[in-house]
C-alpha cells in the first residue's frame, strides 16, 4: 500500500506546481513533456516488467522499480533547468513502470475474487489519502517557492516501502532460464517516442506538414510495425500477441487507454486553468483537482460489491456514463471558471473513473492463469499509461496551438481559458469513446479453470464470482 502511495501521490502533486516550476526554470511550451516523458517511460516499461514478473517473481521487480523511482526523485529535486527536469522525470517513469502494476498483480495473486472486492477498498483508501495529500503538498510547496520538495518527499516513502516489502512479502517462484525480448522493448520504446515527439513538437518546433514532422511520424509507424513483427517471432515476447486475441483482455485495454486520456486531460490542465484564468493559488487549484481523485477511490471501494452482483460489463458501462456526463459539464462551464463548480463536477468524473477502472482490471486478471496474470495486469496498466502519454502529447499540442492563435501570451486569462477549453473538449471526446468501448466488453468472463472443466460461465447475478 505504501508503494502504491508513491505513484498515487505523484499522479497529482506535480500538476499543481507547474506554474511555480516554470517561473523558476522557464520552458512553459515544454511543460507537457513533464507528463509525457514520465508516462512514456512508465508505459513502455510496464510490459517488460510484467513479463519479468511472470518469469522471476513480483518481489525483485517491484523492489527494482522503487529503487529507480527513488533515484529519479532525487535527480528531479536538484534539476537546474526544464530539459534536465524532463530527463529526470523519465528516470522516475522507468521506476513507476514497475511499482503500480506489480502491487496490483500481487493483490491478484494473494486474494480470491471475493476477497479482492474487500481489498480494493483498502487500496482505494491509499488513493483517497493521496488525493488530498498530493495536491495539498504540491500547492503548499509551490506557494512557498520550494517546489523541489514535491520530488524529495518521495525519498522517505521509497525507503519505507522497500523496507516493508523486504520484511513482509515472501513468494515462491519456480525459477527457470528465460530470454528477455530486448528487440521488442527497444522497437516499442522508440516507436512510441517518435509518435509522441511528432505530436508534441508539431506546430511548435516545426510545421505539421513539414518534412521533419512527416519523417518523425513515418519513423514511429515503421518502428511500431517492426515491433509487431519482432513479437511474432520472439520466444518470450515482451507483449505477447495473445493479449489482442482474448476479448476480455483486449476490450479492457481499450477502456484503459481512454481512462488514461481522460485522466491526463484533467490532472495536467485543471490546475493551470484555474491558476491562469482566475488567479487561484496553487493550493486552491490542487484542492479542486483533489476531488477527482477522491471520487475515484470511493467508487473503487464500492465497485467490488457491484461487479460481484451485477457483473463487470454493467459496472464499467455505468462508470463510462458518469465520466461522459461530467466531461460534458466541464466543457459547458469552462468559459466561466469557478473553483467550486470545477471541484463538484470532478467528483462525478472521479466516481466514473473508479467504477470503470477497477472492474476492468479485475476482469482481465480473473480471465487468465497465474503465469499470465502479470502480463494481463501489465497490459491493462500499459494501456492506461499509453492513454495518458498520448493524451498529454495531444492535449499539449492543442493547448500550444490555441495559445499561438491568441498571440502566444500564456499568462493572459482569456488565452488560458480558450486553450483549456479546447483541452476539456478533447477530454470529453475521449470520454465518449470510453463509454462506447465499454459495450465491447464481453458479457461472459471465464476463468481458465472454469473453461477447462465446465465451459464458459456467465457473469455473476448474485454473490458468486464471475471468474477466479
Please tell me the predicted confidence (pLDDT) of residue 127. 63
Cα–Cα distance measured from residue 52 to residue 115, given in angstroms and rounded to the nearest whole number: 26
Please tell me the predicted confidence (pLDDT) of residue 458. 37
Q: What are the residue ranges spanned by the domains of the chain?
A: 2-181+235-453, 182-234
Please tell me the predicted confidence (pLDDT) of residue 463. 32
Please tell me the predicted confidence (pLDDT) of residue 339. 92
CATH number of 2-181+235-453: 1.20.1250.20
Please tell me the predicted confidence (pLDDT) of residue 1. 61
Please tell me the predicted confidence (pLDDT) of residue 316. 93
Helix (H, G, I), strand (E, B) or coil at 202: strand
Please tell me the predicted confidence (pLDDT) of residue 426. 94
Please tell me the predicted confidence (pLDDT) of residue 125. 62
Cα–Cα distance measured from residue 203 to residue 255, given in angstroms and rounded to the nearest whole number: 29
Closest C-alpha to 372, from 236, 189, 256, 172: 236
Helix (H, G, I), strand (E, B) or coil at 113: helix
pLDDT digits (tens, 9 = 90+) for 402-426: 888 887 777 788 888 999 999 999 9
Q: What is the DSSP letter of 204?
A: T
- Helix (H) and strand (E) counts for the chain? 18, 0
Please tell me the predicted confidence (pLDDT) of residue 345. 94
Q: Is the dihedral of CA 438, 48, 301, 307 positive or negative?
A: positive
Closest C-alpha to 254, from 356, 326, 323: 356
- In sequence order, what are the beta bridge partners of 202? 206
Cα–Cα distance measured from residue 311 to residue 302, given in angstroms and rounded to the nearest whole number: 13
Chain CA centroid to CA 330, Å: 21
In sequence order, what are the residues at sequence separation of 6 or more whose Cβ sits closer than 8 angstroms to the Cβ of residue 455? Answer: 446
Question: Cell for 225?
Answer: 510495425
Please tell me the predicted confidence (pLDDT) of residue 322. 96
Q: What is the largest CA-CA distance in the chain?
A: 67
- Contact indicator for 238, 185 with CB cutoff of 8 Å: yes
- Contact indicator for 300, 45 with CB cutoff of 8 Å: no
Cα–Cα distance measured from residue 33 to residue 226, given in angstroms and rounded to the nearest whole number: 26
- Contact indicator for 36, 163 with CB cutoff of 8 Å: no
Ranges of the chain whose pLDDT falls below 70:
1-3, 5-6, 8, 11-12, 15, 27-31, 108-109, 112-118, 120-125, 127-132, 135, 172-178, 180, 200, 203-205, 370-371, 444-468
pLDDT digits (tens, 9 = 90+) for 373-392: 777 777 887 788 788 878 88
Please tell me the predicted confidence (pLDDT) of residue 451. 44
* DSSP per position, 218-271: HHHHHHHHHHHHHHHH-SS-SS-GGGGTSHHHHHHHHHHHHHHHHHHHHHTTHH
Amino acid at each position: 500500500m505504501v508503494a502504491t502511495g508513491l505513484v498515487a501521490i505523484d499522479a497529482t502533486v506535480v500538476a499543481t506546481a507547474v506554474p511555480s516550476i516554470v517561473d523558476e526554470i522557464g520552458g512553459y511550451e515544454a511543460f507537457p513533456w513533464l507528463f509525457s516523458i514520465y508516462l512514456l517511460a512508465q508505459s513502455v516499461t510496464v510490459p517488460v516488467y510484467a513479463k519479468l514478473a511472470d518469469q522471476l517473481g513480483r518481489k525483485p521487480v517491484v523492489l527494482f522499480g522503487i529503487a529507480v523511482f527513488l533515484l529519479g526523485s532525487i535527480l528531479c529535486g536538484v534539476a537546474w533547468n526544464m530539459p534536465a527536469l524532463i530527463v529526470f522525470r523519465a528516470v522516475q517513469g522507468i521506476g513507476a513502470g514497475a511499482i503500480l502494476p506489480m502491487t496490483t498483480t500481487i493483490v491478484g495473486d494473494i486474494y480470491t475474487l471475493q476477497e479482492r472486492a474487500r481489498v480494493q477498498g483498502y487500496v482505494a483508501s491509499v488513493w483517497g489519502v493521496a488525493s488530498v495529500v498530493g495536491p495539498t503538498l504540491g500547492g503548499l510547496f509551490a506557494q512557498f517557492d520550494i517546489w523541489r520538495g514535491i520530488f524529495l518527499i518521495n525519498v522517505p516513502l521509497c525507503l519505507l516501502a522497500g523496507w516493508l516489502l523486504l520484511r513482509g512479502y515472501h513468494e515462491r517462484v519456480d525459477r527457470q532460464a528465460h530470454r528477455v525480448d530486448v528487440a521488442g522493448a527497444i522497437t516499442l520504446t522508440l516507436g512510441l517516442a517518435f509518435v509522441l515527439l511528432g505530436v508534441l513538437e508539431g506546430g511548435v518546433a516545426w510545421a505539421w506538414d513539414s518534412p521533419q514532422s512527416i519523417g518523425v511520424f513515418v519513423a514511429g509507424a515503421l518502428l511500431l510495425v517492426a515491433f509487431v513483427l519482432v513479437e511474432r517471432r520472439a520466444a518470450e515476447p515482451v507483449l505477447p500477441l495473445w493479449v489482442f486475441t482474448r476479448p476480455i483482455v483486449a476490450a479492457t485495454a481499450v477502456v484503459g487507454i481512454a481512462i488514461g486520456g481522460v485522466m491526463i486531460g484533467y490532472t495536467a490542465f485543471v490546475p493551470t486553468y484555474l491558476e491562469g484564468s482566475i488567479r487561484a493559488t496553487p493550493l486552491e487549484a490542487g484542492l479542486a483537482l483533489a476531488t477527482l481523485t477522491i471520487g475515484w477511490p470511493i467508487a473503487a471501494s464500492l465497485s467490488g460489491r457491484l461487479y460481484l452482483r451485477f457483473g463487470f460489463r454493467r459496472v464499467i458501462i455505468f462508470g463510462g456514463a458518469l465520466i461522459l456526463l461530467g466531461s460534458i459539464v466541464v466543457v459547458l462551464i469552462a468559459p466561466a471558471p469557478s473553483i467550486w463548480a470545477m471541484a463538484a463536477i470532478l467528483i462525478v468524473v472521479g466516481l466514473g473513473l473508479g467504477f470503470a477502472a477497477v472492474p476492468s482490471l479485475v476482469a482481465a486478471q480473473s480471465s487468465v492463469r497465474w503465469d499470465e496474470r502479470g502480463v494481463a495486469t501489465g497490459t491493462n496498466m500499459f494501456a492506461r499509461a499509453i492513454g495518458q502519454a498520448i493524451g498529454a502529447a495531444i492535449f499539449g499540442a492543442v493547448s500550444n496551438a490555441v495559445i499561438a492563435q491568441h498571440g502566444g501570451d500564456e499568462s493572459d486569462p482569456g488565452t488560458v481559458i480558450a486553450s483549456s477549453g479546447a483541452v476539456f473538449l478533447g477530454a470529453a471526446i475521449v470520454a465518449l469513446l470510453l463509454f462506447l468501448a465499454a459495450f465491447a466488453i464481453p458479457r461472459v468472463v471465464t476463468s481458465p479453470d472454469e473453461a477447462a472443466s465446465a465451459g464458459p460461465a456467465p457473469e455473476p447475478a448474485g454473490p458468486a464470482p464471475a471468474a477466479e
